[in-house]
Amino acid sequence: MATGSERSRMIAAQDGHRVTPAELFFDLVFVYAITQVTALMADDTTPLRILGGLVVLALLWWCWCCFAWLGNVVRADSGALFAVLVAVMAVMMVVLLTVPEVFSDRPGGLDAPLVFVLCYGAVRLLHLVSYRIAHPDDRALHATLRRTALLSVGPPLVLLLIGSALTGVAQVLVWLGAVVIDYVGIFVTGASGWRIASPGHSAERHGLIVIIALGESIVAIGVGVSGYPVTAAVLAAAVAGLLVVTGLWRLYFRQFSEAAEHRLAPLEGDDRTRLGRDVYTFLHLPLVAGVVLAALGMKKALHQVADAGHYALSEPLHGIAAWALTGGVGVFLLGAAAIVVRIGGPRPVTLITGGALCLVAGAVVVLVPALLAVALLAAAVTAMVALHGRTASRAVLKQS
């Protein structure tokens, strides 16, 4: 049983540390986060709203990453960190409740954009303070925390506050600027002071958030057909959508997530930190963003297939939803290719080519029936993943 002093302090994690139930509990909030971002974009499928949704996703991703890194060096299931996580969950719930109004505040009630920004700032502050308390004698980390506050937290928070008073294009662009400064600021502060105690924990933690994002795609399929009769076309579209998700799952968990962990494990110090930062913090964001965009496209496609009263089966998807369906998969594939390159894997020619083609395939999606578009995407993803797997296997055999 933990003593009173153990419950009131941060307890360091050891090498080989794995994800704890407390962290899984923490992630439940981010299940809701991804759902809210998808709904935000689906509510107004214009290019500006899609960009705004991605900006919100990038901010929420940063909140998750902060405590994923902290949970790698401090145990989340004992000591004071669990209390911190519960506090962050409470603040994040407030953030997520404001997401539907973050770009179109409804009359009455609180100012949703301002509440969003203030709570986001509170989460970032809790992260820095928690790191400082957890490592009271680490001067290198303290210097990095100061640089992070000055470069990656303070200036973006000012821009977010300014943007919360604006509307439309101005708000989205100011917030986008805040995100860019935030991410560049983290890169500029460098790796000194940050630590990855357990590569296995990092790999498992980020794999779980990818699972959460893929789960949102499956939920989107169900939401898209909810309230409509189950027809043969609906069943075919749902199965095709599931095959798309399956292909992305297979690519991630069977073809490069384990390789990334193995590449990280033998490294030490700042080299390990830099690789972990690039692969997990920076390059996993396109994976999650790609899944969210694809989920939006599938939701719209399945809705159109199911709603026979307003859409004929021969009618294609239109507008931004057509791009999101294939473009989201393209973003995922290109993010996966970047990870393979960063860990020194075989050249991912198939992923790069397939990703680029998916990004421009929206021009074809608007010409073919929505059901056929989902089916063709499922076939393409399945083929690309299989081809990449065979190509990578041959490259490994040649190297050995």
Q: 155-172, pLDDT tens digit by residue? A: 999 999 999 999 999 999
**d(C-alpha 304, C-alpha 316), whole Å:** 9
**Whether the predicted pLDDT of 200 surpasses 70:** yes
**Whether the predicted pLDDT of 392 surpasses 90:** no
**Whether the predicted pLDDT of 399 surpasses 80:** no
The CA–CA distances, whole Å, from 186 to 28, 39, 153, 199, 246 equal 26, 29, 9, 20, 33
Q: Which residue has the tokens 């075919």?
A: 236
pLDDT digits (tens, 9 = 90+) for 143-158: 989 999 999 999 999 9
pLDDT digits (tens, 9 = 90+) for 85-109: 999 999 999 999 999 999 998 888 8
Residues 38 and 99 sit within 8 Å (Cβ to Cβ): no
Pick from 72-81, 117-126, 205-214, 283-292: least confident: 72-81
The CA–CA distances, whole Å, from 85 to 1, 88, 105, 126 equal 21, 5, 28, 9
Write the burial class of residue 134 (CB in 10 Å: 0-12 exposed, 13-18 middle, 19+ buried): buried
Average pLDDT over residues 177-204: 91
Residues 343 and 284 sit within 8 Å (Cβ to Cβ): no
Average pLDDT over residues 64-79: 88
What integer pLDDT is reported at residue 2 of this predicted model?
Answer: 47
What integer pLDDT is reported at residue 4 of this predicted model?
Answer: 47
**Whether the predicted pLDDT of 1 surpasses 60:** no
What integer pLDDT is reported at residue 395 of this predicted model?
Answer: 66
**CA 186 distance to own-chain centroid:** 17
Q: Which residue has the tokens 């401090």?
A: 74
**d(C-alpha 88, C-alpha 82), whole Å:** 10
What integer pLDDT is reported at residue 190 of this predicted model?
Answer: 80
**Start-to-end Cα distance in the chain:** 50
Counting residues of the chain whose pLDDT is more than 90, the rounded percentage is 78
- Angle at Cα 220 formed by Cα 110 and Cα 339, nearest 5°? 95
**Whether the predicted pLDDT of 137 surpasses 90:** no
Q: How many helices (H) and strands (E) does the chain have?
A: 17, 0
pLDDT-derived band at 3 (thresholds 50, 70, 90) equals: very low
Q: Please, what's the b/e burial string for 288-315 (b: 16 or more CB within 10 A of its CB; e: otherwise)?
A: bbbbbbbbbbbbbbbbbbbeeeebeeee
**d(C-alpha 266, C-alpha 239), whole Å:** 41
The residue type of 136 is: P
What would the two tokens of residue 132 be? 């400082």
The secondary structure of the chain in percent helix, strand, coil, rounded to multiples of 5, reads 80, 0, 20
Q: Is the dihedral of CA 69, 62, 146, 152 positive or negative?
A: positive
**Whether the predicted pLDDT of 246 surpasses 90:** yes
Counting residues of the chain whose pLDDT is more than 70, the rounded percentage is 96
Residues 165 and 103 sit within 8 Å (Cβ to Cβ): no
Residues 20 and 198 sit within 8 Å (Cβ to Cβ): no
What integer pLDDT is reported at residue 233 of this predicted model?
Answer: 96
Write the burial class of residue 1 (CB in 10 Å: 0-12 exposed, 13-18 middle, 19+ buried): exposed
Q: What are phi and psi of 283, to 5 degrees?
A: -85, -10
pLDDT-derived band at 76 (thresholds 50, 70, 90) equals: confident
**d(C-alpha 392, C-alpha 400), whole Å:** 12
What integer pLDDT is reported at residue 61 of this predicted model?
Answer: 96
Q: What is the mean pLDDT of the chain?
A: 92
What integer pLDDT is reported at residue 397 of this predicted model?
Answer: 58
Question: Model-level pTM?
Answer: 0.94
**Whether the predicted pLDDT of 393 surpasses 80:** no
**d(C-alpha 36, C-alpha 216), whole Å:** 10
